């Protein structure tokens, strides 16, 4: 456990101040760790796994809050958009209802009130529940430093286990989605309905499919997507292709064999519903 007295926390009120603090800290080679809801960071601190003693608390930056609908299919999630914000947003219900399904299954209400989508992304856990939904919806991560902004497709955001595209002087300021057409589906398989980390999670938007807990990062099932896009509907072939991208391992939560079976079952269920009309609320 790390003693709280050993930590320093800076709490800027504007994005500009936050970005300047990050830049100064990087220049001095003493990077600051951004903190949003703190629901992942506090767990790691409590376990003594996070050596960083310097934090940048983003919670007071009002500009980063909320969810906005843009155009006919767009959604922009501020970096402080929480699961509760998603659950309460009419636009999310209408445009990306599987994000509401996923948000309702994250932790309990307290975690939903504090936990953010940006934190879920940057934490880089392969078992994250929000990430597969956003990845299947072709989301883009908006990164900003004091010098400017860049946009990175979420599907290209991870370089390995908990390794992300973000530089130490950048913040995720938003996540943008132009929701693709098609049937949506979200399945979380865990030991119980609430407060459980996924053994396998699958999210689908049209022909796009993403899996969590089956590889070092959340992954898109590219081989299967290409097969289905070309009109393929054979279940056994679809399952074989899904397992080209989903390569689970044994760990404390499950076995590789169980996860492979779950992936195969979810793919069969998804394929069965693929050509049915999209769900609306």
Ligand X SMILES: Cc1cc2nc3c(=O)[nH]c(=O)nc-3n(C[C@H](O)[C@H](O)[C@H](O)COP(=O)(O)OP(=O)(O)OC[C@H]3O[C@@H](n4cnc5c(N)ncnc54)[C@H](O)[C@@H]3O)c2cc1C
Per CB under 6 A, the list member of 25, 34, 126, 248 interacting with ligand X is 34
The distance in angstroms from the start CA to the end CA of the chain is: 45
Longest CA span, the chain? 60
* 85 lines the binding site for ligand X (CB under 6 A): no
Dihedral Cα 51, 175, 225, 71, nearest 10 deg: 180
**If binding means CB under 6 A, how many residues of this protein chain bind ligand X?**
30
In angstroms, rounded to a whole number, what is the distance separating the alpha carbons of residues 44 and 38? 10
* 115 lines the binding site for ligand X (CB under 6 A): yes
| Phi, psi of 128, deg, nearest 5 | -60, 140
- Counting every residue written for the chain, the total comes to 281
Selection from 163, 137, 142, 167 nearest residue 152 by Cα:
142
In angstroms, rounded to a whole number, what is the distance separating the alpha carbons of residues 245 and 226? 12
* 254 lines the binding site for ligand X (CB under 6 A): no
* 217 lines the binding site for ligand X (CB under 6 A): no
Per CB under 6 A, the list member of 18, 95, 100, 119 interacting with ligand X is 119
Stretch near ligand X under the rule CB under 6 A, chosen from 9-17, 19-27, 40-48, 153-161: 40-48
**In the complex, what is the shortest distance from the CB of residue 180 to ligand X, in angstroms, rounded to a whole number?**
22
Per CB under 6 A, the list member of 14, 30, 43, 278 interacting with ligand X is 43
149 exposure class (CB count in 10 Å sphere: 0-12, 13-18, 19+): exposed
* 122 lines the binding site for ligand X (CB under 6 A): yes
Stretch near ligand X under the rule CB under 6 A, chosen from 34-42, 145-153, 242-250, 253-261: 34-42
In angstroms, rounded to a whole number, what is the distance separating the alpha carbons of residues 224 and 237? 9
Per CB under 6 A, the list member of 33, 89, 184, 217 interacting with ligand X is 33
* 154 lines the binding site for ligand X (CB under 6 A): no
* 171 lines the binding site for ligand X (CB under 6 A): yes
Q: Which residues bind ligand X (CB under 6 A)?
A: 33-41, 43, 58, 79, 106-107, 111, 114-116, 118-120, 122-123, 128-130, 166, 171-172, 195
């Amino acid at each position: 456990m790390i003693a709280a007295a050993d930590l320093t926390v800076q709490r800027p009120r504007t994005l500009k101040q936050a970005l300047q603090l990050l830049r100064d800290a990087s220049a001095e080679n003493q990077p600051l760790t951004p903190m949003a809801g703190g629901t992942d960071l506090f767990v790691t601190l409590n376990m003594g796994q996070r050596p960083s003693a310097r934090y940048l608390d983003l919670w007071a930056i009002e500009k980063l809050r909320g969810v906005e609908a843009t155009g006919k299919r767009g959604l922009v999630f501020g970096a402080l958009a929480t699961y509760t914000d998603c659950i309460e947003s009419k636009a999310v219900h209408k445009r990306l209802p599987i994000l509401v399904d996923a948000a309702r299954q994250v932790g309990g209400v307290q975690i939903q009130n504090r936990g953010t989508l940006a934190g879920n992304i940057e934490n880089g856990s392969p078992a994250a529940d929000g990430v597969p939904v956003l990845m299947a919806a072709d989301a883009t991560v908006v990164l900003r430093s004091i010098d400017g902004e860049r946009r990175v497709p979420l599907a290209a955001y991870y370089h390995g286990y908990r390794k992300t595209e973000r530089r130490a002087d950048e913040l995720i300021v938003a996540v943008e989605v132009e929701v693709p057409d098609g049937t949506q589906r979200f399945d979380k398989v865990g030991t119980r309905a609430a407060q459980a980390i996924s053994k396998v999670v699958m999210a689908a938007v049209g022909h796009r499919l993403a899996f969590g807990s089956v590889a070092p990062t959340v992954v898109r099932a590219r081989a299967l997507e290409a097969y289905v896009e070309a009109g393929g509907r054979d279940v056994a072939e679809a399952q074989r292709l899904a397992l080209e991208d989903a390569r689970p391992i044994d760990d404390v939560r499950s076995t590789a064999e169980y996860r492979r079976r779950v992936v195969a079952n979810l793919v069969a269920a998804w394929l069965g519903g693929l050509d049915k009309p999209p769900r609306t609320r």
